[in-house]
């Protein structure tokens, strides 16, 4: 993950390339290769006060200048309303994201390396500068921090309530602009001079493109002067931790070893697999004393559906069984009326229970966890009571009219409620109405009954196992009788909806092929896959609606309303590639040639890893070429599902074929 000088010094290109450093607690540092912040979410020190939620931006940016004799040049870049200042990107000779973001700048015979990282498990960011190259003599490095101390969804503006003072000690300075927010402790080996000032009208161009307020004011408390000599380093650590001392060298060594260690278990040399494997680390974070899954950066927290769709790729194929168990345990403790939380709000309020499928994804994930870990004791203790609560809740009926119908299939009957993953609602307008019996929900229900039957037999509960088998067979029979759309040659997206059966060509039917072998016949499965390949498949994911549909939206951009209206109406989602690859291999067989063909469906992601957020996969893409990336620049299931398919379904077939020519 390297960027050469031509791209670093091309402002538009360098602004479009983002980097992300996460801390395992819901906090992170992020920005652009150019150095300028283009999102309100870009920051150096962004922490979760109640991990992984209640996130606040404390330190936004550093302004940096190098001086030697009569010469001076900036390292930093800022975008203001109508201006770019300073223009440090012009002096950038290269950028690397491995093992963490590192820039190299050069001018007037001086070369400076700048690197930063977030130590895992700490609310902290480390920034370090070194003179590099031959013949460099000492220089002066001036660094001025920019603070806002605000909610990460908000913007900050100049005000009279901010506290201007600083607590200055040898090697440390502390600011607390607002008493309601954490103090910022800065540990350094330079000389700090307090001199508060405001930097006004910073412009976030990405927020402007998203139809949001793009202007912010930053408060700058003072400036450091570092004497930068060959063989030494200027060091700055920003943290909410009130420490007596810090050893930056030790922090760097520990973090480097941790990152190197996570790649040692990758079972293949396939480049895409290795890079996706490395990317998984960003999404596993703490919730209390357990693990959870961040759905995406920069703005999502932990969502039930996303967590359990992503769990096999994040934790199981990567061997993190203990983390998988903790995620299962964390959500099992929150089950209510047979429902897994859909979302934990940002500020720690009670979770939202407004999804028809998250609970069923939970059951599927438990089944996969048992397959990998063989932890029958853990499943019995942690997950089995939760699974029985879920199944009984769906059988009896729970929130939003979610219940098992007389035909054995699962339905929802709440007017206007958006309960599947296609969940956008604008006012009273349900953009993708799917009340009734959605196709993937039936596949998940049948799968959940199979998991429950297997567990009931393991736990010597034959009557419960028999009930699950009975319900499963009835649901399969009903599915096969109702869901085949003969005219189109594919599955209905929803049956028994408010306006009847929905024949929209969407990707949700893929799960009827992947989750259970009894739902779709082999000839029908081949017909479905060929149709999806022709009309929904793109190099970076599956479209959510066929292009010839009158409701198809080719681009996801504009105002919030315009973007929401396109979210599931043609927009491409890369996480769906995982299920598509699985269905392809299951349907056409696991021969090396089939797996190699399936591997080709993922090739576009390898290029994308170097296009937006370096080393990560975006949430969504436009429905038509050139399929520009949109939404979150780093999404858990966009990484996890392709990785799962690469390891579970493709394995080493692609490598072997390459090796033999």
The alpha carbon of residue 29 and the mean position of all alpha carbons in its chain are separated, in whole angstroms, by: 14
Q: Which structure tokens are listed for 214?
A: 């793009």
pLDDT in tens, 511-564: 999 999 999 999 999 999 999 999 999 999 999 999 999 999 999 998 899 999
CATH topology for 2-259?
Beta-galactosidase; Chain A, domain 5 (2.70.98)
Phi first, then psi, for residue 173 (nearest 5°) are -140, 145
Q: How far apart are CA 494 and CA 539, in angstroms?
A: 27
Q: How far apart are CA 30 and CA 312, in angstroms?
A: 27
Find the range with the poorest average confidence among 344-353, 368-377, 488-497. Answer: 344-353
- What is the model's pLDDT at position 135? 57
- What is the DSSP-derived secondary structure letter of residue 336? B
- pTM of structure: 0.95
Assign 348 a pLDDT band (cuts: 50, 70, 90).
low
Assign 350 a pLDDT band (cuts: 50, 70, 90).
confident
For 585-588, which contacts have Cβ atoms below 8 Å and span 24 or more sequence positions?
Answer: 585/649, 585/650, 586/513, 586/514, 586/517, 586/525, 586/649, 587/513, 587/522, 587/525, 587/526, 587/529, 588/526, 588/529
Give the chain's end-to-end CA distance (angstroms, integer): 27
* Percentage, residues of the chain above pLDDT 70: 97
Assign 656 a pLDDT band (cuts: 50, 70, 90).
very low
- What is the model's pLDDT at position 660? 37
- Are 599 and 582 in contact by the 8 Å Cβ rule? The answer is no
Q: Which structure tokens are listed for 153?
A: 């969804």
């Amino acid at each position: 993950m390297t960027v050469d000088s031509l791209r670093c010094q091309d402002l538009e290109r360098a602004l479009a390339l983002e980097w992300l450093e996460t801390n395992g607690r819901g906090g992170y540092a992020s920005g652009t290769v150019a150095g300028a912040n283009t999102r309100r979410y870009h920051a150096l020190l962004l922490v979760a006060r109640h991990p992984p939620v209640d996130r606040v931006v404390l330190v936004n940016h550093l302004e940096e200048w190098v001086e030697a004799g009569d010469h001076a040049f900036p390292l930093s870049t800022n975008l203001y309303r109508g201006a770019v200042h300073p223009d440090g990107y012009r002096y950038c000779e290269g950028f690397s994201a491995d093992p963490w973001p590192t820039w190299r700048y050069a001018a007037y015979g001086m070369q400076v390396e700048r690197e930063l990282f977030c130590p895992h498990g700490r609310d902290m960011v480390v920034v370090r500068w070194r003179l590099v190259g031959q013949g460099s003599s000492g220089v002066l490095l001036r660094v001025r921090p920019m603070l806002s101390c605000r909610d990460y969804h908000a913007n900050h503006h100049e005000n009279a309530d901010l506290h201007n003072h600083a607590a200055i000690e040898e090697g440390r300075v502390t600011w607390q602009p607002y008493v309601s927010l954490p103090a910022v402790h800065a540990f350094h080996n330079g000389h700090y001079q307090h001199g508060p000032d405001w930097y006004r009208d910073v412009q976030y161009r990405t927020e402007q493109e998203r139809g949001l307020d793009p202007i912010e004011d930053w408060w700058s408390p003072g400036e450091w002067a570092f004497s930068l000599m060959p063989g030494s380093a200027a060091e700055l650590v920003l943290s909410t931790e009130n420490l007596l001392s810090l050893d930056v060298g030790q922090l760097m060594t520990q973090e480097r070893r941790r990152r190197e260690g996570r790649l040692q278990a990758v079972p293949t040399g396939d480049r895409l697999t290795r890079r996706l494997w490395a990317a998984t680390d960003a999404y596993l974070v703490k919730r209390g004393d357990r693990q959870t899954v961040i759905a995406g950066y920069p703005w999502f927290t932990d969502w039930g559906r996303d967590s359990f769709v992503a769990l096999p790729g994040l934790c199981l194929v990567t061997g993190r069984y203990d983390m998988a168990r903790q995620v299962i345990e964390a959500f099992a403790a929150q089950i209510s009326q047979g429902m897994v939380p859909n979302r934990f709000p940002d500020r720690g309020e009670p979770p939202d229970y407004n999804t028809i499928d998250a609970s069923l994804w939970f059951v599927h994930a438990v089944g996969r966890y048992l397959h990998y870990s063989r932890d029958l004791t853990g499943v019995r203790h942690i997950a089995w009571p939760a699974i029985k609560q879920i199944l009984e809740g769906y059988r009896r009926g729970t929130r939003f009219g979610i219940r098992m119908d007389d035909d054995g299939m699962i339905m929802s009957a709440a007017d206007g409620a958006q309960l599947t993953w296609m969940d956008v609602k604008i006012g009273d307008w349900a953009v993708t109405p799917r009340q009734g019996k959605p196709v993937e929900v039936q596949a998940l229900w049948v799968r959940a009954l199979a998991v429950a039957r297997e567990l009931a037999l393991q736990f010597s509960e034959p009557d419960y196992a028999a009930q699950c088998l009975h319900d499963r067979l009835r649901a399969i029979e009903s599915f096969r009788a109702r869901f085949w759309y003969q005219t189109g040659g594919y599955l209905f997206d929803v049956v028994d909806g408010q306006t009847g059966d929905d024949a929209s060509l969407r990707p949700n039917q893929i799960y009827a092929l992947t989750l259970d072998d009894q739902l779709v016949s082999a000839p029908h499965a081949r017909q479905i896959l060929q149709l999806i390949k022709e009309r929904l498949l793109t190099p970076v994911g599956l479209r959510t609606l066929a292009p010839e549909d009158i409701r198809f939206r080719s681009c996801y951009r504009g105002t919030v309303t315009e973007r929401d209206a396109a979210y599931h109406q043609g927009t491409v989602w890369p996480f769906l590639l995982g299920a598509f690859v699985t269905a392809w291999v299951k349907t056409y067989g696991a021969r090396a040639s089939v797996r190699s063909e399936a591997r080709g469906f993922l090739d576009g992601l390898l290029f994308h890893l170097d296009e937006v957020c370096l080393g990560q996969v975006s949430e969504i893409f436009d429905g038509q070429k050139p399929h520009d990336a949109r939404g979150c620049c780093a999404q858990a299931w966009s990484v996890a599902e392709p990785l799962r398919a690469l390891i579970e379904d493709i394995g080493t077939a692609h490598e072997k074929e390459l090796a033999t020519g």
